[in-house]
Amino acid sequence: MSNVKTRFAPSPTGFLHVGGVRTALFAWLVAKQSGGKFILRIEDTDQAREVQGSVEHIQESLQWLGLEWDEETYFQSKRLDIYKKWADKLRESGRAYADPYTPEQVQEFREQAKRDKQPFLYRNHRPDPPAGGPPIWDGSQPLRLKSNPKGYSWHDEVMGDLHSGEEVIDDFILIKSDGFPTYNFCHIIDDHEMEVTHVIRGQEFLASIPKYLNLYEALAIKPPIMATMPHIMSEMGNKKLSKRDGAKDILDYRDEGYLPEAMINFLTTLGWNDGTEQEIFAVDELIKKFDISKIQKSGAQFDERRLLWLNGAHIRKLSLDDLYEKVAPFWPEEAKNADESYKKRVLTLVQERLKFFAELPELTRFFFIDLPINPELISTHKQLKNYEHSRLKELLETTLESLQQSDFSADDLKERLNKLLELTDEKPVALFSLIRIATTQAPASPELTGSLHTLGKDKSLSRINSQLANF
């Protein structure tokens, strides 16, 4: 096992959407491809923002996708002693101090800076240290880093070589007056203590990295490898995809019958490719080929149609037994008493066109019950709407006559349907659509020969008769 260790460090503030999942996925891929470890750390130090049930939801989402984590799930709220120990160390070495101001006073400094048209820097108001001994801190005030302003150059695995000036370095809060550490402080302690080698996170943290580098120095901790994920952009317009923008709960995709492997394929190839035209990847293949340094730096556009297309492609790759097992919760109510071999025959017919499992009832209900005659299917059909009823009747009668003599084997049906085209002098789009509608009463259905063969002789003929009775 290599020493590579990555982490997913979500805050439990609500459901996980594709943006968060992609960050987790990339961290998982980096760990897997080098035989390293992937860990899950719940960053729950902002208790006001915590949403009940988020932790279970995050874990369920990762499990659905197969992004299993090594080690126990860590909770920052259970590690307060550890942060306190490191904070004391900083305080004792003169690198952290108690913030003596009230929030109103700090706000006033901020407003003064604005009036002076200067950027606000807390460090310009840093109080004088008390003479002798470490600065006193009783925990009722925020504890701040005594920063050491300087410029930085560093490498980000995705964003490349980056630079910053000393003006972005400030005395930020390490521990809040409620006793909880800030993200800025405790993620650094945790990554160090948990021996994380690669910090893979969203773009919203990029501007803060110089501050973190300053803190790493104060703590004498070597920074890990950094990789910043560009945003996922919303489908419409050029802004970051957010929950407000309709980014869905990742488990909604599971409930609609998306395959985890399709979701992984989709998210990995959002802004990354292996340099070829290949679009459909199995998870194992992605583990081998994924290269974090080849992620594009700019935001990748979310495209739900592409996800749908990829899901269809992954559905087509499933063996019949696998498909049968996976669609189990999605059958229409009417299929409850149908036997396995019949359902498997139905599945063979629809596998080609199924894009997500929640479509299954609509695509297959007619295999299990007689749907009521729907005259609109003919009256709105592009090819059939201009036919006289008498002609439609004639066509179905001719069809009925021929099919009555069929043994309903696929070969025989095929031959008869072709002969019917000759006999009636109709085009397949017209005649076959008519037979399809008569025998299914559904707006869409799989190819005709297979559908008739699966429905069987009795059902097919009785449905044609019902349609005839309706003209």
- Tell how strand 225-229 and strand 232-233 pair up: unpaired
Catalytic residue numbers? 243
Cα 368 to chain centroid distance, Å, stands at 34
In terms of Cβ atoms closer than 10 Å to its own Cβ (0-12, 13-18, 19+), residue 53 is exposed
Which range in 8-16, 115-123, 159-167, 370-378 contacts ligand GLU by CB under 6 A? 8-16
Spatial distance between the Cα atoms of 235 and 352, rounded to a whole number of angstroms? 27
Q: By C-beta, is 9 or 360 nearer to ligand GLU?
A: 9
Which residues 29-48 are close enough to bind ligand GLU by CB under 6 A?
A: 43
Task: Figure out which of the listed residues 32, 201, 211, 355 binds ligand GLU, where binding follows CB under 6 A.
Answer: 201
In terms of Cβ atoms closer than 10 Å to its own Cβ (0-12, 13-18, 19+), residue 103 is exposed
Q: By C-beta, is 13 or 148 nearer to ligand GLU?
A: 13
Q: By C-beta, is 43 or 261 nearer to ligand GLU?
A: 43
Binding mask 353-392 for ligand GLU (x = CB under 6 A): ----------------------------------------
CB 185 → ligand GLU: shortest distance, Å?
12
Q: Which two tokens stand for residue 148?
A: 């050491």
**C-beta of residue 193 within 8 angstroms of C-beta of residue 238:** no
**C-beta of residue 29 within 8 angstroms of C-beta of residue 71:** no
CA angle 123, 128, 133 (to 5 degrees): 120
Q: Does 57 bind ligand GLU (CB under 6 A)?
A: no
Return the closest-CA partner of residue 26 out of 233, 262, 292, 388.
292
Spatial distance between the Cα atoms of 184 and 276, rounded to a whole number of angstroms? 39
Spatial distance between the Cα atoms of 249 and 426, rounded to a whole number of angstroms? 49
CB 283 → ligand GLU: shortest distance, Å?
23
Q: Does 61 bind ligand GLU (CB under 6 A)?
A: no
CB 157 → ligand GLU: shortest distance, Å?
14
Q: By C-beta, is 26 or 432 nearer to ligand GLU?
A: 26
Cα 423 to chain centroid distance, Å, stands at 53
CB 320 → ligand GLU: shortest distance, Å?
41
- Spell out the residues 6+ positions from residue 468 whose beta carbon is closer than 8 angstroms to its own: 393, 396, 397, 400, 438
Kind and range of the H or E element at 85? helix 80-92
Return the closest-CA partner of residue 15 out of 241, 229, 232, 248.
248
Which range in 5-13, 58-66, 344-352, 438-446 contacts ligand GLU by CB under 6 A? 5-13
Q: By C-beta, is 183 or 408 nearer to ligand GLU?
A: 183
Spatial distance between the Cα atoms of 329 and 348, rounded to a whole number of angstroms? 17
Which range in 4-12, 297-305, 314-322, 436-444 contacts ligand GLU by CB under 6 A? 4-12
Q: By C-beta, is 180 or 342 nearer to ligand GLU?
A: 180
Task: Figure out which of the listed residues 57, 187, 416, 453 binds ligand GLU, where binding follows CB under 6 A.
Answer: 187
CB 39 → ligand GLU: shortest distance, Å?
12
Let me know how many helices (H) and strands (E) the chain has, helices first: 19, 12
Spatial distance between the Cα atoms of 428 and 435, rounded to a whole number of angstroms? 10
Which range in 7-15, 95-103, 124-132, 428-436 contacts ligand GLU by CB under 6 A? 7-15
Which range in 6-14, 241-249, 359-367, 439-447 contacts ligand GLU by CB under 6 A? 6-14
Q: Does 224 bind ligand GLU (CB under 6 A)?
A: no
CB 43 → ligand GLU: shortest distance, Å?
4
Q: By C-beta, is 227 or 378 nearer to ligand GLU?
A: 227
Q: By C-beta, is 20 or 450 nearer to ligand GLU?
A: 20
**C-beta of residue 212 within 8 angstroms of C-beta of residue 184:** yes
Helix axes 457-469, 448-455, angle to 10 degrees: 110
Q: By C-beta, is 15 or 366 nearer to ligand GLU?
A: 15
CB 121 → ligand GLU: shortest distance, Å?
24
CB 204 → ligand GLU: shortest distance, Å?
7
DSSP letter for each residue of 328-393:
GGGS-GGGTT--HHHHHHHHHHHTTT-SSGGGHHHHHGGGTSPPPP-THHHHT-TTTTTS-HHHHH
Which range in 9-17, 28-36, 280-288, 311-319 contacts ligand GLU by CB under 6 A? 9-17
Task: Figure out which of the listed residues 5, 6, 9, 446 binds ligand GLU, where binding follows CB under 6 A.
Answer: 9
Q: Does 10 bind ligand GLU (CB under 6 A)?
A: yes
Q: Does 11 bind ligand GLU (CB under 6 A)?
A: yes
CA angle 78, 82, 86 (to 5 degrees): 150
| Residue at 176: amino acid letter | K
3-state DSSP: the chain helix, strand, coil percent, rounded to 5? 50, 10, 40
CB 187 → ligand GLU: shortest distance, Å?
5
Tell me which residues touch ligand GLU (CB under 6 A): 9-11, 43, 183, 187, 201
